[in-house]
Each structure stands twice: as C-alpha cells, then as structure tokens.
C-alpha cells in the first residue's frame, strides 16, 4: 500500500531532524514472525495457562522467587518463539538511519535483542533482553544465543543458585540503568519521535510522545491499529512496521 500513502511529510521531518527517537513494540517483532504477545515486553497472549493462573502471575517476579520452574516454563516458551527468527527490514532500516542522521535512539519494549543484532548502537531495552542471563545470588552472568543448551530452570555454574534472564517480570521494577539512560536522553531532547508497532499501554512508552507534543516536536506513529497515542501524533501511518520503515529509509536515501 506504500504507493497510496504519502510519506513525504514524514521523510521531510526525518531529513531535518538531528536526534530521532524510535519507540518500538511487539508490532515490529511481529514482522519477524514473532507472536504479538502481551506481558513481558509485550510478550504472551495465549489465553489461560496450563496452571489455570493468569500469565501475569506465572511471569511474575514473585513466581520466579517462589516457583522458578513454573516461571521459567513460560519464559522458555517465549524464547522458543524467538528462536530462529531474525531482525527484519524495519530493524535494519532503523539501524541504517544511523549513517544518515546525527543520532538515532531506540526505546524498545521488545526482549528479543533484534535492534542490537540489526546494528543499532543506541538502544534502550526498557524490558531487558531474554538472551542475557544472570545468577540471582552471585555476580555470574552470561549471554546466550538461545536456550537450546539450557536445563530449565538453570542454575549458576559458580554457586549453584537460580539463574534468571535479565527481563522485567510482572511486579518488578524497570532496570535502573535503562531508566536513567532514557531520562537523560529525554532531557537532552529529540527533534522527532516515532512510535512503531506499540499500543503505548505503558505510561513510560507513551510519555516521550506526550512530552514531544508538549514541546512542539513532531511525532509520528506507525501502527495498523489504534493506540494510546494515535490521537496525539502529527503523522499517523496505519500500516505495518517493517514495510513503512523500509519505505521511509528509501525515501530518505533517494534524494
Ligand atoms: Zn551464582
């Protein structure tokens, strides 16, 4: 549908921007074939669990402490869905924009690590990354390609305590370092904020758009459906993430 949509106003915004913030969610990962879960990083939407307990409980910080095997079972399912999937044209388009603009930042809710894999260098993973593991008792940590070699729930090779992924489970705080980085960059300000493939249900995801609007900074949304910020943005593109990000990149590169 690209040919019927006039992207030139957005391309114009990109061309004159120095610092751009992309806010990404499950809709972008969906274009890599990942299911659009909700929950952890917008993950999980398969209805009730085998245990008959809401997924928010199974994927909760408390469950990780009290019944790690049960919690890991669902984390393992999410990882399995990501396994073999690759960053898509949308991730690559954002990464390639770094060569054309002064500073491109990504605030992502996705825990698949695809932005970094695609080559983006300024990524704020506000919900963490499934592939980073750490011990709950000592300083051991590791980064894995996937969980194929793991026995769930995994235990620390150094001390034997429980190992967990560096993702934000329900009821847990956002990672301090990521929040600090986000606050610092928001304070420095952006010239353009683009929300991609997210319903912006979390306040800290909607906030940069609201802030931008307050400061008369142009805002764009790329999302086929209605979101919490749809009514706020200057340019609303109701289409798929990968397709539209590629189209914006080619538009920018073509002149
Ligand atoms: Zn340990």
For 69-123, write each residue's pLDDT tens digit.
999 999 998 898 888 899 999 999 999 999 999 999 999 999 999 999 999 999 9
Buried b (16+ CB within 10 A) or exposed e, 241-253: bbbbbbbbbebbe
Give the Cα separation of 115 and 241 in Å (integer): 13
User: Ligand 1 center to residue 165 CA distance, Å?
Assistant: 13
User: Ligand 1 center to residue 134 CA distance, Å?
Assistant: 8
Q: Output the CA–CA distances (angstroms, integers) from residue 185 to 57, 125, 179, 242, in the order listed.
A: 33, 14, 10, 25
Q: What confidence score (pLDDT) does residue 39 get?
A: 44
Q: Give the pTM.
A: 0.92
Tokens, residue 15: 């061309």
User: Ligand 1 center to residue 107 CA distance, Å?
Assistant: 30
**Res. 36 pLDDT band, cuts 50 70 90:** low
Q: What confidence score (pLDDT) does residue 47 get?
A: 61
Which of these is catalytic: 91, 115, 127, 131? 127
- At residue 4, does pLDDT exceed 70? no
Q: What confidence score (pLDDT) does residue 34 get?
A: 81
For 168-189, write each residue's pLDDT tens digit.
999 999 999 999 999 999 999 9
Taking a 5 Å cut-off on Cβ, the residues next to ion ligand 1 are 135, 137-138, 140, 156, 158-159, 161
What is the helix (H) or strand (E) element at residue 20, kind and residue range? strand 19-24
Catalytic-residue membership of 127: yes
Please list, in sequence order, all residues whose beta carbon lies within 8 angstroms of the beta carbon of residue 118, skipping any fewer than 6 positions away. Answer: 87, 91, 92, 94, 95
- At residue 3, does pLDDT exceed 90? no
Give the Cα separation of 30 and 104 in Å (integer): 22
User: Ligand 1 center to residue 164 CA distance, Å?
Assistant: 11
User: Ligand 1 center to residue 174 CA distance, Å?
Assistant: 22
Q: What confidence score (pLDDT) does residue 83 get?
A: 87
Please state, for a pLDDT cut of 70, what percent of the chain lies above it: 93
User: Ligand 1 center to residue 177 CA distance, Å?
Assistant: 22
Average pLDDT over all residues of the chain: 92
User: Ligand 1 center to residue 142 CA distance, Å?
Assistant: 11
Q: What confidence score (pLDDT) does residue 2 get?
A: 46
């Amino acid at each position: 549908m690209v040919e019927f949509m006039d992207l030139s106003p957005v391309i114009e915004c990109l061309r004159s921007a120095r610092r751009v913030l992309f806010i990404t969610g499950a809709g972008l990962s969906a274009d890599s074939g990942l299911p659009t879960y909700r929950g952890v990083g917008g993950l999980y939407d398969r209805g009730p669990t085998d245990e008959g307990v809401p997924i928010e409980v199974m994927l909760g910080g408390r469950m990780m402490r009290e019944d790690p095997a049960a919690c890991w079972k669902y984390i393992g399912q999410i990882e399995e869905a990501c396994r073999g999937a690759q960053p898509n044209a949308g991730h690559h388009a954002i990464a390639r924009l770094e060569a054309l603009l002064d500073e491109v930042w990504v605030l992502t809710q996705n825990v698949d690590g695809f932005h970094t894999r695609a080559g983006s260098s300024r990524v704020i993973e506000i919900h963490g990354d499934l592939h980073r593991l750490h011990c709950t008792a000592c300083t051991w940590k590791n980064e894995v390609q996937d969980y194929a070699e793991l026995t769930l729930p995994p235990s620390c090779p150094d001390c034997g305590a429980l190992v967990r992924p560096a993702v934000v489970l329900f009821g847990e705080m956002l990672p301090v370092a990521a929040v600090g980085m986000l606050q610092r960059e928001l304070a420095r300000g952006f010239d353009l904020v683009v929300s991609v493939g997210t319903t912006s249900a979390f306040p800290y995801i909607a906030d940069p758009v609201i802030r931008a609007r307050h400061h008369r900074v142009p805002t764009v949304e790329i999302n086929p459906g209605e979101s919490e910020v749809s009514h706020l943005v200057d340019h609303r593109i109701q289409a798929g993430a990968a397709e539209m990000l590629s189209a914006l990149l080619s538009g920018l590169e073509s002149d």
